[in-house]
Amino acid sequence: MTNCIESVLILLACGSIRATFSSTAPDMSANGIVDRYRPIQPKIMFAESKVLYASKNLDFGKKLDEAVRRPEADVPQLERVVVSGPLWDHPKV
């Protein structure tokens, strides 16, 4: 997630139920995202598939797709992915 109000709301919601919050920059590689979340074993991942950066719309759909599909073996607890922006076909979305 980017530095947006939604990220702050997710952080506060996690704190209210004593859940762990961790974030990655949208421009991180899929490997970096998987490496970050493997030890945390999240149940829910929030993500943005499109980001406005330097007056350009950047589409992270492919990388997001890889970052969600790859940890399925390493992070079996991942039950759901909540995506802001255009969706794609994935059973956990």
Task: Examine residue 89 and state whether it is found in any structural domain, yes or no.
Answer: no
Q: Which of 12-16, 21-25, 45-49 has the highest mean pLDDT?
A: 12-16
What is the per-residue pLDDT for 17? 94
Task: Examine residue 59 and state whether it is found in any structural domain, yes or no.
Answer: yes
Cβ atoms of residues 80 and 91 within 8 Å = no
Task: Examine residue 25 and state whether it is found in any structural domain, yes or no.
Answer: yes
pLDDT band per the 50, 70, 90 thresholds, residue 92: low
Residues 26-60 have pLDDT tens digits of 778 878 888 888 888 888 888 877 777 778 877 87
CB count, 10 Å around CB of 69? 13
Number of domains in the chain: 1
d(CA 21, CA 33): 14
What is the per-residue pLDDT for 82? 83
Task: Examine residue 91 and state whether it is found in any structural domain, yes or no.
Answer: no
Task: Examine residue 69 and state whether it is found in any structural domain, yes or no.
Answer: yes
Task: Examine residue 60 and state whether it is found in any structural domain, yes or no.
Answer: yes
Identify the domain containing residue 17 by its residue range.
5-84
Task: Examine residue 61 and state whether it is found in any structural domain, yes or no.
Answer: yes
Task: Examine residue 90 and state whether it is found in any structural domain, yes or no.
Answer: no
